[in-house]
Amino acid sequence: MNALSQQKSAIAGTAPAVRIRDLRKSYGALEVLKGVSLDAHDGEVVSILGSSGSGKSTMLRCVNMLETPTAGEVSIGGETIRMKQTRSGSLPADTRQVDRLRARIGMVFQGFNLWSHKTVLENVIEAPIYVQGRSRAECVEEARELLSKVGISSKAHDYPSRLSGGQQQRAAIARALAQRPHVMLFDEPTSALDPELVGEVLKVMRTLAQEGRTMLVVTHEMGFAQEVSNKVIFLHKGIVAEEGTPAEVFGATCSEHFRRFLAR
Amino acid sequence: MDFSFMLSAFLRLLPGIPLTLQLAVISIALGITLALFLALLRLSRIKPLEWMARAYVFVFRSTPLLVQIFLVYYGPGQFPALRHSILWPILREPYWCAIIALALNTGAYGSEIIRGGLQSVPHGQVEAARAFGMGRLQIFGRIVLPLAVRQALPAYGNEIILMVKATALGSVITLMEVTGLAAKMISETYRAIEVFVVAGCIYLVINFLVTRLIQLVEHWLSPHLRSAPISTGFEKKVAA
């Protein structure tokens, strides 16, 4: 199915869902990203691997401008985010463009980041109602479906603090899905979880991948990267050191760096 | 103690309660608005605005409220320009002078409380709102402020109670609120203890009610903090 949708977009000549070109990011003198590029087509699952400090989260966070790149280009669905140069560095030229694009990019954070003063259901319907301007009744109905999809419909009226980490992360995934996103970004979604709770979150993510959703996943879960993704990229010291299908990257020809990374 | 005298004192002081409450409610309402404004200036990351807010808070927190009340009450009359301005009908009224001074004062304290609340909002929750495409105003109104208010409320409750008591200073600029009436009654009867005990009790009751009200609002606003009972680690031992 993924291959099919990829083919379709190739035939139609549509732009990749996410396109990153020569992305650079510096914090002061420290250059975290030294020119990375990536194409994620519709329906593709791209896993971004790398040791801590390799710049993988920074790269992901540049896609929706939570981090502003120092240089380079990010396009979402063929629309390039316009940047301007200011004294304090490079910034998006049009915050409304960024907000509009963000509204259709679902993001799942390492620390869940659910809004703690809202119930699970309120978390899920917040952006659809107040950003996308959809009707409350419609959003509530869809939210209930999404919550049952991620297996926490009984928690709809609980506050996030009452949920386990795994449940919170699944709620966060439902919240991201409620935006009807074109692309979903996962920033180490299981890294803050107790080991026994990782499985339930990965299971939901596998389901989403099977549905043919476009996903960019920063992860340390090698099993997930190998089995679920269509494409794997390995970042090392701010550059793309490996790129290809899981079979290629995890195969026998992989680089010294990557082997050392896997051996850890 | 002479209880029948205390009862008559109570009945004499009772009419002062509405004025006490008015001074408190109006100055707190104005003060909160000012406090929010000052807190936003303070966190604006625009240096001149930040310093203005800092200076304001420094001046109003570091000088006695009584002095501030005197300045507002006696000060403007010294300037003919003010005496002939459209503000004069307000500035010549001790009622409004007390409210202005109280509001300016509580604004300074309140801004520090609100600033603490705003700064306590977890960065990740703001980031999530940004990632979902919410605009700045939406993020402030729907995420940051509600979380900040919940965080600041217990401390603000304290400030509200202090303000109820501070209205007593209105008596020194001729206002006949509870303390003003009490002082007047003492000057007629020379029975300070009974009258002040009664006056103190009235403040006690008002603040008891205010405290309960604040608790109620806190309870209503923070269902998310009433999470499952905190595990003490003792349950398992009992079970075992």
Which chain B residues touch A if contact means CB-CB below 8 Å? 122, 124-125, 127-135, 138, 142-143, 146-147, 150, 223-225, 227-228
Q: What is the mean pLDDT of residues A158-167?
A: 90
Task: Tell which A residues from 223 to 252 touch B, by Cβ distance under 8 Å.
Answer: none
Quick check: B224 pLDDT over 90?
no
**B120 located within any domain:** yes
In this model, does residue B27 exceed pLDDT 90? yes
Whole-angstrom distance, CA of residue B142 vs CA of residue B134: 9
B232 lies in a domain? Answer: no
CA distance B132 to chain A (A): 5
Tell me, yes or no, whether B163 lies in a domain.
Answer: yes
Reduced to 3 states (helix: H, G, I; strand: E, B; else coil), residue A242 is: strand
pLDDT at A48 over 90: yes
> Which residues on B lie below 8 Å from A127 (Cβ)?
132-134
Size of interface A-B (CB pairs under 8 A): 72
The CA–CA distances, whole Å, from A186 to A57, A166, A189, B114, B168 equal 9, 14, 6, 34, 58
**Predicted pLDDT at A12:** 52
Better-predicted residue by pLDDT, B26 or B10: B26
* Mean pLDDT to the nearest integer, A79-89: 84
Structural domain includes residue B229: no
B228 part of a folded domain: no
Q: What is the pTM of this model?
A: 0.82
Task: Summarize the confidence of residues A136-155 as an average pLDDT.
Answer: 92
pLDDT at B44 over 70: yes
Longest dimension (CA), chain A: 55
Q: Do B132 and A126 touch (CB under 8 A)?
A: yes
Q: In what order do the strands lie in the sheet with A183-187?
A: A105-108, A183-187, A215-218, A45-49, A231-236, A239-244
What's the domain range around B81? Answer: 3-223
Q: Given pLDDT bands bounded at 50, 70 and 90, which one contains residue B14?
A: confident
| φ, ψ dihedrals at A98, nearest 5° | -60, -45
* The two structure tokens encoding residue A133: 């301007």
DSSP B63: S
Integer-rounded Cα radius of gyration of chain A: 18
CB contact under 8 A, B128 and A107: yes
For chain B, percent helix, then strand, then coil, each to nearest 5? 85, 0, 15
A 177-206 → B contacts, CB under 8 A: 179
Share of chain B above pLDDT 70, in %: 92
Q: What's the whole-number average pLDDT of chain A? A: 87
- Report pLDDT for B240: 37
Handedness of CA A146, A150, A154, A158 (dihedral sign): negative
Inside any domain, residue B95:
yes
d(CA A111, CA A219): 14
Radius of gyration of the CA atoms of chain B, in A: 23
pLDDT given for residue B226 in this prediction:
64
Mean pLDDT of A63-73: 90
Q: Is there a domain that residue B27 lies in? A: yes
Q: How confident is the model at residue B236 (pLDDT cuts 50, 70, 90)?
A: very low
Cα separation, A67 vs A60, in Å, equals 9
Give me the pLDDT at residue A252, please: 65
**CB atoms closer than 10 angstroms to residue A203:** 13
Max Cα–Cα distance, chain B, nearest Å = 83
Structure token digits, residue A50? 């790398």
Q: Which residues of A touch B225 (CB under 8 A)?
A: 161
In a domain, B230, yes or no: no
Read off the pLDDT of each residue in B5-22 and give the average, rounded to a whole number: 88
Q: What is the mean pLDDT of residues B61-65?
A: 93
Number of domains, chain B: 1
**Domain of residue B77, CATH code:** 1.10.3720.10
Closest Cβ opposite residue B224 in set A105, A161, A175: A161
pLDDT for residue B178 is more than 60 = yes
